[in-house]
Amino acid sequence: MAFSILRNGLKLGKNVQKIVCSKNPVEIAKLEGLRNTAAALSCTQQSCLLTPKITNLELASRGLSSKHDTKPHHERKYQSSSESDCDLEGWLGKRGDSDFWRRKMRTFHSILDLNKDGVISFDDFKLLADGFVDLGHLSEKHTQEFYKVIQDLWEKQFGEITAYNLISVERFLENMHHVLNDKRLVRRAHSFLPYLFKAVDKDASGQITVEEFKLFFNVLGLKEMDAVLAFRAIDSNGDGRISSQEFVKHGRDFFVTEDEERISKYFWGPLVEH
């Protein structure tokens, strides 16, 4: 009887089960045999207290640390594009107010502002996309997907596609602040980055060299020397190559982090002064 209850308790995953002990020596032996296996067990003359153990494998699969994290959740730094939804929600609604983050967004606005008139339109957006397509390294399928992603991003973030929908710096900052703090939008905000990588990965190796990274900066209208410096910063292991995962990670971090020490700040070239 007692062993049957114990087994059912384990199946149900209860945190604590109180079990009436049998006087039967066989049943007691079975209970004692569980001390070092599925659960921690302590008994008195009347009852047993069963506390299921969590194995190291279970800890790892849940992404839990064996050390106690004393930082409040909202103070933890956003680390990578692979963080869980729970981690994302920890800082949603609390980002985008630092001068450093606003400076990064102004930098990106200046890149999109191809004619440097202080505003961006969908034409600017598409012309920049054309620059990557014109490199000739995207397949027809990826080219079509890329243009679709660009159009969807514009419409979701900036509204209708007309010659009169012009986005100033301040409106861009306001919009990106909204994107940063909306869990649905922020997870799509970097969807164009894999296509940029494919566009400059001319040998389709899945990794880009500094020469291929120069293509990236060239399309953005940035200097070759700046490309070299940015590449060296992003290539943290110094192997002379950046993978697609690294590229997307740092490109996304640029938009979602406010940590001035993160190397992602170099991803889109030198930051504007103010």
H or E stretch covering 39: strand 39-43
DSSP 47: E
Could you report the per-residue pLDDT of 42-56, keeping only the tens digit for each?
Answer: 454 444 444 444 334
Mean pLDDT of 211-222: 97
Residue 218: pLDDT above 80? yes
Mean pLDDT of 150-158: 93
Pairing of β 119-120 and β 167-168: antiparallel
* Alpha carbons 84 and 240: distance in angstroms, whole number: 30
Could you report the per-residue pLDDT of 57-102, keeping only the tens digit for each?
Answer: 333 333 333 333 433 333 333 333 334 344 444 444 467 889 999 9
* Alpha carbons 29 and 65: distance in angstroms, whole number: 34
Kindly report the length of the chain: 274
Residue 180: pLDDT above 70? yes
* Alpha carbons 43 and 53: distance in angstroms, whole number: 16
DSSP 266: G
Q: Is 207 exposed, middle or buried (0-12, 13-18, 19+ CB in 10 A)?
A: middle
Contacts of 198 by beta carbon, 8 Å cutoff, 6+ apart: 137, 138, 142, 204
Structure tokens at 87: 């981690």
Could you report the per-residue pLDDT of 104-114, keeping only the tens digit for each?
Answer: 999 999 999 99
Residue 221: pLDDT above 90? yes
Q: What confidence score (pLDDT) does residue 94 get?
A: 61
Residue 223: pLDDT above 80? yes
pLDDT band with cut points at 50, 70 and 90 for residue 183: confident
